[in-house]
């Protein structure tokens, strides 16, 4: 009996050790496969950014498939993927970027144009109160009065019109901003909104209906130094071109035991706001 009991105890211990070892090995293998699949998905993002189009490749014991599409392309609304602080700005483009060269163009690519064009700019986290810490926005609309910049590459006739909106009435006498609307955004969930009628701010009606004349809008926030807030836009009478590249990459191990997906984006930038108050010239500037 003592020998049988001893053997039972020893067998139980041995089986327990074997079971734990098998479990540890399985977890280690699963973790390695998961990391391998995730690394493959990351490689897919990097490769897609270089190639600029859909790509699929094998890497060792894993492979990736990356799909590239236009960010918000063909949509009448666009929610910027990041929240921004006071002084930071984002660009919303009304003309397309050539996917290879990045040059602005409307040839075979969509550009936003509409009769009586207007936009609703939305910002602020839901539930934000209109107080001294709430964000205000400045909206700068760039347009080519010569209506030839997109096709000729000569943007010598670019003009800019601005509007500023503030939901907090306590600041409006001092900053002369226009009162913003609390809520009322038709797309997404935002605290504040403002309607921008392009004709009312001085853009010619012919420009609004001519593809390539409206170039971009820059939205810059103020007063939210502590907390970042989201920004979005809805346009009327048309759709937006791509605002950047959206990449969805899937990494898979050779045994297909692990699959990992990554969604990344690269937005189109614009001229830094410093150029609003600086001298810029393609040639040398001589100061007497």
pLDDT tens for the chain, residues 1 to 288: 777 777 777 777 777 766 676 665 565 667 788 888 888 999 999 999 888 889 999 888 889 999 999 999 999 999 999 999 999 999 999 999 988 788 888 888 889 988 888 999 999 999 899 999 999 999 999 998 776 667 666 777 888 888 999 999 998 788 889 999 988 887 668 999 999 998 888 888 888 888 888 999 999 999 999 999 999 999 999 999 999 999 999 999 877 778 889 999 889 988 777 666 655 555 666 666
Q: How far apart are CA 64 and CA 53, in angstroms?
A: 14
**Quick check: is 212 in a domain?**
yes
- The count of domains in the chain is 2
Instruction: Give the whole-angstrom CA distance, residue 85 versus residue 220.
Output: 9
24 contacts: CB under 8 Å, gap ≥ 6? none
Same domain, yes or no, for 52 and 111?
A: no
Take residue 99 and report the two structure tokens written for it. 């996917």
Element (H, E) at 109: none
Give a yes or no: residue 166 inside a domain.
yes
Same domain, 209 and 148: yes
**Any idea what DSSP says for residue 176?**
-
265 lies in some domain: yes
Asked whether 200 and 247 are in contact (CB, 8 A), the reply is no
DSSP code, position 84: B
Domain that holds residue 42: 34-71+245-277
Q: Which residue has the tokens 């800019």?
A: 160
């Amino acid at each position: 009996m003592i020998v049988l009991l001893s053997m039972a105890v020893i067998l139980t211990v041995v089986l327990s050790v074997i079971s734990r070892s098998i479990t540890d090995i399985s977890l280690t293998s699963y973790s390695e496969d998961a990391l391998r699949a995730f690394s493959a998905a990351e490689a897919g993002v990097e490769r897609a950014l270089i190639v600029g189009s859909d790509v699929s490749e094998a890497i060792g014991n894993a492979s990736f498939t990356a799909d590239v599409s236009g960010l918000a392309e063909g949509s009448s609304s666009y929610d910027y993927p990041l929240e921004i602080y006071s002084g930071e700005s984002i660009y919303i483009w009304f003309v397309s970027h050539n996917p290879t060269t990045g040059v602005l163009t409307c040839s075979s690519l969509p550009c936003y144009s509409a009769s009586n064009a207007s936009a609703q700019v939305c910002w602020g986290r839901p539930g934000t109160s209109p107080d001294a810490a709430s964000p205000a926005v400045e909206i700068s609309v760039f347009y080519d009065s010569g209506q030839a910049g997109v096709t000729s590459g000569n943007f010598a006739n670019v003009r800019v019109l601005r509007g500023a909106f503030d939901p907090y009435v306590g600041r409006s006498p001092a900053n002369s901003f226009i009162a913003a609307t609390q809520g009322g955004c038709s797309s997404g969930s935002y605290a504040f909104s403002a309607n921008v009628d392009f004709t009312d701010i001085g853009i010619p009606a012919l420009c609004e209906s001519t593809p390539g004349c409206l170039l971009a809008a820059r939205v810059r926030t103020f007063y939210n130094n502590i907390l970042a807030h989201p920004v979005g836009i809805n346009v009327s009478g048309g759709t937006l071109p791509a605002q950047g590249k959206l990449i969805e990459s899937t990494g898979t191990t050779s045994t297909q035991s692990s699959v990992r997906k990554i969604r990344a984006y690269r937005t189109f930038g614009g001229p830094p706001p410093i150029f609003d108050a600086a001298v810029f010239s393609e040639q040398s500037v001589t100061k007497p």
